[in-house]
Structure 1
Amino acid sequence: MFISTKGRYALRIMLELALRNTEDYIPLRELTKSQGISIKYLEAIISILVKANYVEGLRGKGGGYKLSKSPEEYTVGSILRLTEGSLAPVSCLECDVNTCERADKCPTLPMWQKLQEFIDSYFDSITLKDLLEDRNLSHKDFVCDDLFSNKRVTIKKDD
């Protein structure tokens, strides 16, 4: 799993729109300046976010971009999957159907599948609102599957 600049920038853009979450549209030039992203690259990322209805755009005077929903309705996982396509740690898990000819006899596949579940659970447990409220997420408990016991566990912030 490698998260590209497109995924990281999309997350930063969504965070800025969440931080400035008002009825007003944020002009593209303001986003470019505050994020240090070229206008061309920003337009490409915004286009993906608009097509997925994550962001609303308005052209002309007073135009720009704003979130389509409230910050708590967007997870880091959904934003990264939208821009990256897959968060799979290995290529054989990038599709819904494993097309690897060795899948049925691969001794490491269950390990990679568990890692995939952990990555998905972790990123899906964090919303834009969470990131805005506490950048290090120290307040947030994390629920996931224990990789060894196959039981659901909650990791408390004090652990």
Structure 2
Amino acid sequence: MLTIKDKTFVSFITADAIQARIQSLAEQINQDYANKQPLIVVVLNGAFMFAADLMKHLTIPCEITFIRVASYTATESTGQLKQILGLHQSIEGRDLIVVEDIVDTGLTIGEVCNQLQISSPASIAVATLLFKPAALKKPIDLQYVGFKIENRFVLGYGLDYDGFGRNTKDILVLQ
């Protein structure tokens, strides 16, 4: 159990389950990109832990870069994507794997992919640790999904509540 500000969170997905699933996702990516050299595009801040652990299991030649977007206020998605910050290299003709912590409404990751598509990459795939199908407002093609979860607020393992709680090994859920 963890209390942050006015909210209490309880265990939801254990560190062992997270690590096992990440290893499985990495094996799938290694197979799918066996003859390619993708650019891993990590969406900060939430996906940093997922991306770090995923990279440990990737055996394909790949590069990594980080972008930053914002669409959350407290525990609710605003649905409004601010400008992508931090993408400084050319992505034209590159195979991209966008690494996200969570996809709920689909609006943020959809807009990220739309903005990336403007620069003419060869392909864009999305790897998300968590997916909330019940919250989806815009259809989105997710190639790599760690866990499908119910539409509840989660925290930990990189995900936060007003900036706090990212530093847990497990994923917790609002009690």
TM range (shorter): under 0.3
Structure exhibiting the larger radius of gyration computed from Cα positions? 1
Give the number of the structure whose residues are more often strand, by fraction. 2
Query: Larger RCO: Structure 1 or Structure 2 (Cα < 8 Å, ≥ 6 residues apart)?
Result: 2
